[in-house]
Structure 1
Amino acid sequence: MNAMSRSKSDRVLDFSIYCILAIVLVVVIYPLYFVIIASISDPTYVNSGQMTLWPKGLNFNGYVRIFQDHSILTGYRNSIIYTVVGTAISLLFTLPAAYALSRKDLDGKNIIMYLVTFTMFFSGGLVPTFLLIKQLGMYNTIWSLVLPGAVGPYNLIIARSFFQNTIPDELREAAEIDGCSNLTFFVRMVVPLSAAIISIMVLFYGVGYWNAFFNALIYIKDKDMYPLQLVLRNILIVNQVSMDMMGDVDQAAKQQEIAGLIRYGVIIIAALPLLVLYPFLQRYFVKGVMIGAVKG
């Protein structure tokens, strides 16, 4: 009787958990789904709340307006370059630094970690940083976008915790006995065993570089070097300004509807690469974060 009772209670618990997860899934997925169908629906149905689950009155004018601007392709190209180069540089600096700080035989590592943590809460400010970037000759270059944030303190702490809990000291000692140097050990042993945290760093840094627009707004003056996010921002501003300058009420209302479609389309265009990339890294995401954040 007790076994049957426990079995029934387990089924009830499982059902409750699945219901809660289903609700959470709907809450998370529906806004994105709504943006997708709203970007291809008639703005009249969207604004009046008549569209809920399926697109109504297919309308691709928003995407047509967006891709009529040739700067979109240039922005895509620039963002891909900035993301790939920036992520590679960030990995090049973050992983060796995190491994070195995870070593017990590194003198002064606690002081270094204190300084790293300090930068999470305090910075030099926008004006001093701008002056520094300009004096270093990085203004209006790709380096002004990828070098200042090459090492993220939070990512460094996660990677350090991962190495502390994943790479045993016995493995390093065995490698030293065989005459393996620290650099060789890191390249041939540590890196192949760190696929999870490398994937996490690629995801974190990649998302950061892809979504970044403020640094480009401050440090880039050449429009041909604008990243995608800044290009899309300018498209939204131009459409909003042109709508505000119209005197005809009917024409302004029509332009407002187009501007709404453009806003939805811009969200999809900007998020699409990340939505495509994330499923391939998702299985590493949970593992790397749990090892790096919980056990550390």
Structure 2
Amino acid sequence: MNNTIKDSSTDKYFKVAIGIICAFMLIIVLYPLYFVVMASFSNPSAVANGEVWLLPKGITMLGYKEIFQDSRIWTGITNTLIYTIGGTLASLLFTIPAGYALSRYDFRARKILTFFFVFTMFFNGGLIPTYLTVKGFGLTNSIWVMIIPFSVNVFNLIITRVFFQTTIPHELLESAKLDGCSDFQFFVKVALPLSKVIIAVMMLYYSVQYWNEYMKALIYLNDDKLFPLQLILREILVMNQAFSSGGQGVSLGDITVQQKADLIKYGVIIVSSLPMILFFPFIQKYFEKGVLIGSLKG
């Protein structure tokens, strides 16, 4: 006996309409990114004339050549990798245990501590007091200023706390204690192995945050040997834009100074975004699970 329920004609039309809308939204979101990739490889004259739509035209590597010829790029990549890896590890080291502690109902101070954490999401001391505090600890113009002072994101902490509350049952802790398990042993041997999803999600959030960070470097770093990639790319972009403004109409062979600056601009976008785009697929399944858990049980 076939119990399959067939869709009515109205349902079919509705699904087709939803599919068309989703496809249209996907094109709207992806095409600008696709265009930037095509423009970074295309002759800037063709891009300026609106001739680049689906495929690159007059393929050239001039933009990437100009970017990677700057020796500061490799210093920036090295620094950013250090900040991203070190900062992500430090953030996980603080966020995961803190989220677990705040999720425990037998932790009496959890409500007042949660209040103080959430309070900082709406109110803070401002830039100048924060700068003076960081300077007072002797962290300015050092690697540590990019890793330690801002290592905990309160929003991520709340997500972690909700995950532990909704995923690790209290009865599991009670049964573990009956077997002689301490709180620390329970966290390390039981809670952490069951928390791969939230660890992967936090790793993604924090790694993207540290990779894209340039405002902290702009404020707290003076030594260009410590600049992250984003700040180096910003300087290259600003320098070329300033050069193009002073050389409007000046020709460099087949292209003008302004067109060369535009080509470098597209290349800078790709160089700064590509590593995170390549990293995301490896933890995508954990990211999707984490988002679903937060939306259904948070």
What is the TM-score normalised by the length of structure 2?
0.94
**Aligned residues of 1:161 and 1:293 also touching (Cα < 8 A):** no
Residue pairs, 1:183-222, within 5 angstroms:
183-222=184-223
Q: Structure 1: state its 5+ residue gaps.
A: none
Displacement of 1:251: 3.4
Distance 1:115 1:251, change over 3 A: same
**Aligned residues of 1:84 and 1:206 also touching (Cα < 8 A):** yes
CA distance in 2, matches of 1:293, 1:201: 16
CA distance in 1, matches of 2:241, 2:83: 28
* 1:127-181 Cα distance to aligned partner (Å, 9 max, x none): 1111111111111111111112111000000011111110001111111111111
Aligned residues: 293
Distance 1:4 1:217, change over 3 A: closer
* 1:163-201 Cα distance to aligned partner (Å, 9 max, x none): 111000111111111111111111111111111111110
- Report percent identity of matched pairs: 48
CA distance in 2, matches of 1:17, 1:167: 37
Match of 1:114 in 2: 115
Residue pairs, 1:1-296, within 5 angstroms:
6-246=7-247, 249-251=249-251, 254-296=256-298
CA distance in 1, matches of 2:112, 2:120: 13
Displacement of 1:245: 2.8
Displacement of 1:12: 2.5
* 1:52-86 Cα distance to aligned partner (Å, 9 max, x none): 11111112111111011011111111101100000
Distance 1:235 1:180, change over 3 A: same
1:250 maps to amino acid: V
| SS of 2:194 mapped into structure 1 | coil
CA distance in 2, matches of 1:206, 1:183: 27
Displacement of 1:4: 8.5
**Aligned residues of 1:158 and 1:293 also touching (Cα < 8 A):** no
Displacement of 1:293: 4.5
CA distance in 2, matches of 1:7, 1:219: 63
Higher relative contact order (CA 8 A, sep 6+): 1
CA distance in 2, matches of 1:51, 1:178: 68
**Aligned residues of 2:249 and 2:258 also touching (Cα < 8 A):** no
Give the alignment's Cα RMSD to 1 decimal: 1.7
1:257 maps to amino acid: Q
What is the TM-score normalised by the length of structure 1?
0.95
Displacement of 1:115: 1.0
